[in-house]
Chains A and B, each alone.
Chain A
Amino acid sequence: DTGVSQDPRHKITKRGQNVTFRCDPISEHNRLYWYRQTLGQGPEFLTYFQNEAQLEKSRLLSDRFSAERPKGSFSTLEIQHTEQGDSAMYLCASSFGSNQPQHFGDGTRLSIL
Chain B
Amino acid sequence: QKEVEQNSGPLSVPEGAIASLNCTYSDRVSQSFFWYRQYSGKSPELIMSIYSNGDKEDGRFTAQLNKASQYVSLLIRDSQPSDSATYLCAVGAAGNNRKLIWGLGTSLAVNP
Do B102 and A42 have beta carbons less than 8 Å apart? yes
Residue of chain A at shortest CB distance from B92: A99
In angstroms, Cα B87 to Cα A97, docked, is 24
Point out the residues of chain A lying under 8 angstroms from B46, CB to CB.
Answer: 101-103
Proximity string of chain B (80-104) to chain A, C-beta cutoff 8 Å, 1 when within and 0 when not: 0000000010101000011110111
Answer whether A101 and B102 are a contact pair too, CB < 8 Å, given A56-B97, A106-B42: no
Q: How far does the Cβ of B34 sit from chain A's closest Cβ, in whole Å?
A: 5
Residues of A in contact (CB 8 Å), total 22
Do A99 and B97 have beta carbons less than 8 Å apart? no
Q: How far does the Cβ of B92 sit from chain A's closest Cβ, in whole Å?
A: 5
Point out the residues of chain A lying under 8 angstroms from B45, CB to CB.
Answer: 104
In angstroms, Cα B90 to Cα A103, docked, is 12
Residues of B in contact (CB 8 Å), total 21
In angstroms, Cα B93 to Cα A98, docked, is 10
In angstroms, Cα B20 to Cα A49, docked, is 35
In angstroms, Cα B43 to Cα A52, docked, is 24
Do A101 and B43 have beta carbons less than 8 Å apart? no
Query: A43 an interface residue at 8 Å Cβ cutoff?
Result: yes
Residues of B participating in the A interface, judged by any CB pair closer than 8 Å: 31-32, 34, 42-46, 49, 51, 88, 90, 92, 97-100, 102-105
Known: A98-B92, A101-B34. 20 other contacts (CB 8 A): A41-B104, A42-B103, A43-B44, A43-B102, A45-B100, A48-B97, A48-B99, A98-B98, A99-B31, A99-B51, A99-B92, A99-B98, A101-B32, A101-B46, A102-B90, A104-B43, A104-B44, A105-B43, A106-B43, A107-B42
